[in-house]
Amino acid sequence: MAEWFSSWLPNGLAILGPAFVSAVLVVSFIGGSALLLIWAERKVAGRMQDRLGPTRVGPVGLLQSIADGIKLITKEDVAPAAADRFLFRFAPYVAFCATFCAFIALPFAPEIVPWDLSIGVFFVLAVMATEVFGVLLAGYSSGNKWSMFGGIREAAQVVSYEVPRSLCVIVPVAIAGTLSPTEMAEQQAGFFWNWRIFHDPFTFLAFFVFFITATASCKRAPFDLAEAESELVAGFHTEYSGIRWSYFFMAEYGSMYAVSALACLLYLGGWHPGFLPMDLRDLVGAWLGNIGYGCILVGKSYCLIFVMMWMRWSLPRLRIDQVMTSCLKYFLPISCGLLFGACMWLLTVPSHWAAVVRLILAAASLIGMVVMGVMLLRPLPAEGQHGQLAGVWSRQETVS
Per-residue pLDDT band for 396 (boundaries 50, 70, 90) equals very low
Read off the pTM.
0.90
Per-residue pLDDT band for 23 (boundaries 50, 70, 90) equals confident
8 and 146 housed in the same domain: no
**201-217 helix and 145-176 helix, angle to the nearest 10 degrees:** 160
Residue 109 and residue 26: Cα distance in Å, rounded?
Answer: 14
Instruction: Inform me whether the pLDDT recorded for 19 exceeds 80.
Output: no
Of 17, 32, 66, at which residue does a domain stop?
66
For the stretch 194-251, pLDDT in tens is 999 999 999 999 999 999 999 998 888 888 776 655 665 778 888 998 889 999 989 9
Instruction: Inform me whether the pLDDT recorded for 390 exceeds 80.
Output: no
Residue 85 C-alpha from the chain's centroid? 31
Residue 376 lies in a domain: no
Residue 205 and residue 152: Cα distance in Å, rounded?
Answer: 31
DSSP annotation string for 11-55: HHHHTHHHHHHHHHHHHHHHHHHHHHHHHHHHHHHHHHTTS--S-
17 and 139 housed in the same domain: no
Output the pLDDT for position 8.
55
10 and 134 housed in the same domain: no
Give the least confident one: 60-64, 152-156, 383-387. Answer: 383-387
* Gyration radius from the chain CA atoms: 23
For the stretch 65-88, pLDDT in tens is 999 999 998 988 889 999 999 999
* Count: domains in the chain: 2
139 and 7 housed in the same domain: no
Residue 268 lies in a domain: yes
15 and 162 housed in the same domain: no
Of 306, 327, 342, at which residue does a domain stop?
342
Output the pLDDT for position 338.
97
Output the pLDDT for position 235.
82
Residue 21 lies in a domain: yes
22 and 171 housed in the same domain: no
Output the pLDDT for position 206.
97
62 and 84 housed in the same domain: no
Residue 233 lies in a domain: yes
115 and 209 housed in the same domain: yes
Residue 334 and residue 161: Cα distance in Å, rounded?
Answer: 13
Mean pLDDT of 368-397: 64
**More confident call, 132 vs 16:** 132
218 and 306 housed in the same domain: yes
- CB 269 within 8 Å of CB 184: no
User: Between the CA of residue 341 and those of 116, 177, 196, 206, 347, what are the distances in Å?
Assistant: 31, 17, 15, 10, 10
- HSE-up of 257 (CA within 13 Å, CB side)? 28
62 and 81 housed in the same domain: no
Residue 380 lies in a domain: no
Instruction: Inform me whether the pLDDT recorded for 259 exceeds 80.
Output: yes
b or e along 33-70 (b: 16 or more beta carbons within 10 Å of the residue's beta carbon)? bbbebbbbbbbbebeeeeeebbeeeeeebebbbeebbe
Of 18, 42, 66, at which residue does a domain stop?
66
Q: Mean pLDDT score of the chain, rounded to an integer?
A: 87
49 and 83 housed in the same domain: no
Alpha helices in the chain (DSSP H): 2-6, 11-14, 16-48, 64-74, 85-102, 120-129, 131-141, 145-176, 181-186, 201-217, 242-266, 280-284, 286-312, 320-325, 332-348, 351-377
Instruction: Inform me whether the pLDDT recorded for 372 exceeds 70.
Output: yes
Mean pLDDT of 108-125: 90
Residue 366 lies in a domain: no
Mean pLDDT of 272-277: 88
Residue 315 lies in a domain: yes
43 and 176 housed in the same domain: no
Domain that holds residue 59: 1-66
Percent of the chain with pLDDT over 70: 88
Residue 228 lies in a domain: yes
Kindly tell me the sign of the dihedral angle through the C-alpha atoms of 314, 320, 321, 326.
positive
Output the pLDDT for position 94.
93
For the stretch 294-332, pLDDT in tens is 999 999 999 999 999 999 888 888 888 889 999 999 999
Instruction: Inform me whether the pLDDT recorded for 40 exceeds 90.
Output: yes
Per-residue pLDDT band for 90 (boundaries 50, 70, 90) equals very high
Within 8 A by CB and 6+ apart from 230, the residues are none
| Other CB atoms within 10 Å distance of the CB of residue 22 | 16
- HSE-up of 55 (CA within 13 Å, CB side)? 5
b or e along 220-259 (b: 16 or more beta carbons within 10 Å of the residue's beta carbon)? bbbbbbbbeeeeebbbbbbbbeeebbbbbbbbbbbbbbbb
